[in-house]
């Protein structure tokens, strides 16, 4: 593969699992449900192009597999268009909208270093506008039916660690004052309110991705040299602490919100498995950026015009200091689509979308 992503991402294809299945010839044989996407840079398809932000991907060599840099994290632009694009209006929103924003997080102060970003609360505000547009277009009854059968995916949490609690220098005081348990607790409390609000606005089939092994990304390897050739332990411990509480939250919401189907996507497990067994997956490099400029792992400076690009992107797990390659994304997407309980629970994406 080499055609699905613009700047490849850990979860860039999570919300596109249906379309991916069709591309591989294993479609449902029926109309694709509407698809509403919420998240951070891992699923941003270009919303940050329309705001003043340092978190963008609209420059080369991003887009090398897509043909040009669009600022999108994935190349399936016709399936879930960015909310802020002027063309995302009228009948097109009935097929779904992407609200994700690079730098965004669960907590509203996350990502301040990027300037402009759209955090989850604001993304939900934007969805409320879309919801009203849909009601005005097809009526309330039909709108609720459409939303009830639609796929909703939420990919949040990584930035709350990488660009908040773990931000070099800036987070030193916070880490001394706020314990990991307290910080994660504040994230879960906020997330509970946000996911409940999404349900209250009509969402029923909701896939929530956990935080991946962020200590293994090239950037964290660079700023934690004491880890040597291993993943940085503390960021991964934070992710695992959050993920354990998130899994309980998903079970709680499914039990308490009538008619809901919340699904827990264990991306941490999948990506960790790929990194540990990278050779068996056909990779040759599991710890360095394919798009690099400097650093032992190529993780010190974001991918940009001055960067060099590896000869064979399909042999690298990571594209840049933060995001995996197309090849990695395809593996993740297939496992979320058809994987067992160790990858996604209580059902996979295909099972979730069955009538």
Q: Verify whether residue 288 is a known catalytic residue.
A: no
Question: Nearest CA to 53 among 84, 19, 89?
Answer: 84
Q: Verify whether residue 40 is a known catalytic residue.
A: no
Q: Report the distance separating Cα 308 and Cα 198, nearest Å.
A: 41
Question: Nearest CA to 193 among 120, 119, 264?
Answer: 120
Is the CA virtual torsion 131, 134, 135, 140 positive or negative? negative
Is the CA virtual torsion 122, 124, 128, 133 positive or negative? positive
Q: Report the distance separating Cα 97 and Cα 52, nearest Å.
A: 21
Phi, psi at residue 220, to the nearest 5°?
-70, -30
Q: Verify whether residue 226 is a known catalytic residue.
A: no
Task: Point out the catalytic residue in the list 153, 323, 326, 343.
Answer: 323
Task: Point out the catalytic residue in the list 5, 15, 41, 101.
Answer: 41
Cα-to-chain-centroid distance, residue 261: 19
What does DSSP say about strands 308-309 and 291-292: parallel, antiparallel, or unpaired?
Answer: antiparallel
Question: Nearest CA to 209 among 45, 333, 103?
Answer: 333
Q: Report the distance separating Cα 210 and Cα 154, nearest Å.
A: 9
Task: Point out the catalytic residue in the list 160, 320, 326, 343.
Answer: 320
> In 3-state terms, what secondary structure has residue 351?
helix
User: Which active-site residues does the annotation give?
Assistant: 41, 320, 323
């Amino acid at each position: 593969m080499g055609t699905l992503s613009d700047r490849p991402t850990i979860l860039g294809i999570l919300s596109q699992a249906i379309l991916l299945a069709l591309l591989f010839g294993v479609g449902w044989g029926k109309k694709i449900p509407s698809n509403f996407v919420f998240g951070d840079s891992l699923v941003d398809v270009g919303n940050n192009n329309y705001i003043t932000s340092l978190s963008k991907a609209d420059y080369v060599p991003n887009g090398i597999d897509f043909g040009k840099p669009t600022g999108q994290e994935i190349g399936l632009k016709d399936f879930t268009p960015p909310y802020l694009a002027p063309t995302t209006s009228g009948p097109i929103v009935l097929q779904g909208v992407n609200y994700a924003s690079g730098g965004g997080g669960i907590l509203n102060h996350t990502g301040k270093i990027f300037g402009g970003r759209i955090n989850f609360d604001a993304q939900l505000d934007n969805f409320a506008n879309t919801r009203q547009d849909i009601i005005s277009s097809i009526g309330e009854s039909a709108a609720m039916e459409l939303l009830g059968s639609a796929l909703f995916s939420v990919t949040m949490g990584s930035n709350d660690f990488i660009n908040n609690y773990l931000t070099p220098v800036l987070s030193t005081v916070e880490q001394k004052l706020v314990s990991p348990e307290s910080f994660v607790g504040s994230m879960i409390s906020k997330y509970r309110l946000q996911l409940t609000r999404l349900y209250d606005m009509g969402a029923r089939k909701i896939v929530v991705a956990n935080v991946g092994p962020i200590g293994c990304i090239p950037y964290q390897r660079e700023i934690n040299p004491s880890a040597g050739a291993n993943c940085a332990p503390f960021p991964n411990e934070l992710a695992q602490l959050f993920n354990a509480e998130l899994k309980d939250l998903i079970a709680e919401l499914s039990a308490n919100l009538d008619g809901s189907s919340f699904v827990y996507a264990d991306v941490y497990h999948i990506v960790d498995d790929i990194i540990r067994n990278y050779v068996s997956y056909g990779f040759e490099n599991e710890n360095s950026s394919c798009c690099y400029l400097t650093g032992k792992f190529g993780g010190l400076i974001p991918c940009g015009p001055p960067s060099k690009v590896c000869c064979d992107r399909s042999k690298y797990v990571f594209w840049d200091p933060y995001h995996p390659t197309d090849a990695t994304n395809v593996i993740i997407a297939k496992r979320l689509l058809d994987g067992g309980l160790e990858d996604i629970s209580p059902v996979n994406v295909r099972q979730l979308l069955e009538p």
